[in-house]
Amino acid sequence: MNPRFLIYIYGVVAIINLYASYISSDQLNQYTKPLLMPLLMLYVYRSSIGKTTLKVLLLFLALLFSWLGDVVLMYQSEQLFFMIGIAFFLLAQGTYVVVLRKSTYQKPEVSFQKVLPFIIYTGVLFYILLPAGDFTAPIAIYGSVIMTMTIMARLREGNTSQESYRMAFYGSLLFVASDSILAINAFDTKLPYAGIFIMSTYCAAQLLLVKGLLKHVE
C-alpha cells in the first residue's frame, strides 16, 4: 500500500473520530480511535522497507506505546485505567526523547535562550494544575518528560534538515497543546469541545512527529 494513501486514510479516520467527539458518540469513538496509531505504524513500516534503522524501531515503539495509551484511556472513568494510560504515554514521550536525540547529526548543544520559554510554560502549567491529590506526582513527572521531548525537538535546529526540524518541532508543540488541554479539562476547568481540541492537536502532533523524524537522513 502506498504510504501517501495511508496518510489519507489516517486523515479520514481522524476526522471521523473528531466527529464522534462532536456528537458524543462513544461507540464511534471506540471504532475509530484504536485505528489511528496502527495506521501511522503501518505508514512507518511502508516508508522504511529496506532501511530499518534504530530510529525507525524507536519511532515504531513510541507509536505502540501511544496506541496502548489511547486504548487504555478509553476507560478513563476508572482511576486505575487513567494511571496506566498516563504510564504508557510517559513511555511514548520518553521514547520520542531518545529518537529525537538519535535523529541529529551531532549531540545538540543546550541553549538557555531556546530552553527558557518551555521552562516558563511548564512552571505556569504546574501552578495551574498542582496540587492535584493522588495525581500530583504523575502530572509533575509526565509534564517534565513531555517538555523534555519538546526541548529536544527544539534543540535539533541546525542538526538536521530544516524540513525534519520544523515538522518534528511543530508536532511536539501540538503534543504539548493536546496534553495541556486534557490536563486542564480533567483537573482544573471543564472546557467546551475539549475532546475535539485534544484529539485534533494529538492526531496532527503524531503525524508531524512521524513525518519529521522520517525526513531525517542518517
Q: 176 lies in which domain range?
A: 3-215
Instruction: Give the per-residue pLDDT at 76.
Output: 66
Residues 112 and 184: their CA atoms lie apart, in Å, by 27
**Mean pLDDT across the stretch 50-66?**
92
Place of cell 551531532: 106
Per-residue pLDDT band for 51 (boundaries 50, 70, 90) equals confident
Q: Which run of H or E residues covers position 16?
A: helix 3-22
Q: Is the pLDDT of residue 33 over 70?
A: yes
| Total tally of structural domains belonging to the chain | 1
Instruction: Give the per-residue pLDDT at 104.
Output: 95
Long-range residue pairs from 77-86, CB within 8 A, at least 24 positions apart, any chain: 79/134, 83/138, 86/138, 86/142
Residues 188 and 178: their CA atoms lie apart, in Å, by 15
Mean per-residue pLDDT over the chain, rounded: 94
Residue 90 C-alpha from the chain's centroid = 10
3-state secondary structure of 6: helix
Per-residue pLDDT band for 27 (boundaries 50, 70, 90) equals very high
In 3-state terms the chain splits into helix, strand, coil percentages (rounded to 5) of 80, 0, 20
pLDDT tens, residue by residue, 96-154: 999 999 999 998 888 889 999 999 999 999 999 999 998 999 999 999 999 999 999 99
pLDDT tens, residue by residue, 177-214: 999 999 999 999 999 999 999 999 999 999 999 999 99
Residues 187 and 150: their CA atoms lie apart, in Å, by 22
Q: Is the pLDDT of residue 21 over 90?
A: yes
**What's the Cα-to-Cα distance from 64 to each of 35, 41, 42, 175, rounded to whole Å?**
12, 8, 11, 16
Instruction: Give the per-residue pLDDT at 120.
Output: 97
Long-range residue pairs from 84-93, CB within 8 A, at least 24 positions apart, any chain: 86/138, 86/142, 89/65, 89/142, 89/179, 90/141, 90/142, 90/145, 91/65, 92/62, 92/63, 92/65, 92/66, 93/142, 93/145, 93/146, 93/148, 93/149, 93/175
Q: Is the pLDDT of residue 36 over 80?
A: yes
C-alpha cell of 51? 532501511
> What percentage of the chain reaches a pLDDT higher than 70?
99
Q: Is the pLDDT of residue 77 over 90?
A: no
Measuring CA to CA, which residue among 14, 13, 21 is closest to residue 195?
21
Q: Is the pLDDT of residue 169 over 70?
A: yes
